[in-house]
Structure 1
Amino acid sequence: MITNPSTYSEAEIALIADWLGENLSATQIAYRLARQRGCAVSRNAIIGIVHRNKVLAAIGLSGPSGKPSAGSPVPQAPSVPRAPKPEARLHPGNIRSKKEARALDPVFAPPARRPVDGLKPHAYDAAARHIPLEELRHGECRWPVNNAAQGEKHLFCGKAASFSSYCPHHALRAGVRPLFVAEAA
């Protein structure tokens, strides 16, 4: 029995070389070596030793059908010239044509932006309280109303928030659905 299963003796290397010469697969070699050693040997272990050992690498592994792998010299069949691919045409099954058609279809066109509550966003934000974050209290709208550059103070709406963190106008703009008492229970 081998004390270190990750090392291979010279006799085992010679056996693996013989089995490679018989065009056995790595799985078949691992099975035979495991039976001889009395301990498990994986297919990957065989592949590894074949790649690391110069003698075994010169022989090479066989492919799954028992034919020599790409590394060994095998006569190749003459290549047959292929017909050129037909030019891609747009048809209903083609994704690109679908996207182009959807761009013109009013059903798939994005909805026109319209002001919420009949107010334009910048007009409503102009009427906001413009409170810095540290002065906001619980129940006040946390919608940012200015485009602060780095280092400037960010200002928020500050109007009474009826639900969530926003006032009714900013909740609609954010797409927040009001939570009713019946849903909360």
Structure 2
Amino acid sequence: MAWTDERVELLKKLWAEGLSASQIAGRLGGVTRNAVIGKVHRLGLSGRATSSRSSAPRRGAITRHGKIERRRLSARRGNVALKRLTRRNTIRRPAPVEELVIPLHERATILTLKESMCRWPIGDPTEEEFHFCGRKKDGTVPYCEHHARMAYQPVQARRREKRFASG
């Protein structure tokens, strides 16, 4: 499909009226929404008329007592991810796992670390006191039982924490 002068003029007219790219593509026929967007961009069209949608907020439902129910309306409006947490939808986080106190003789450095030892790093690697847990590890997991619980959390708990971390 070629962009004839008549079709370009119709595109400009429909764009100025505030129709969406999909609506314009439907009216023109034989052209996709993306083709309309591309042509609008190449023509440098802007200054659209406002759409028929109202910017005024919708009113809530009227209850039996004649009052407008706004609570349900506010829950639907806006970005749900940015919604403030209320008492009802806060999550209870598990108590933080306390760090083990590793006796000096069990601590391992990179030079003394063996395959059967826990590889959980403790401290800042740039500091002299940095060490690895060094306790006996479980099977194929690189950590002791305590550190494996910290490292491998259930998927649901991780997703929930991510969701509410920015909240």
TM-score of the two chains, using structure 2 as the length reference: 0.44
Greater fraction of residues in helix? 1
Larger Rg: 1
Between 1 and 2, higher relative CO (CA 8 Å, sep ≥ 6) is seen in 2
TM-score of the two chains, using structure 1 as the length reference: 0.41
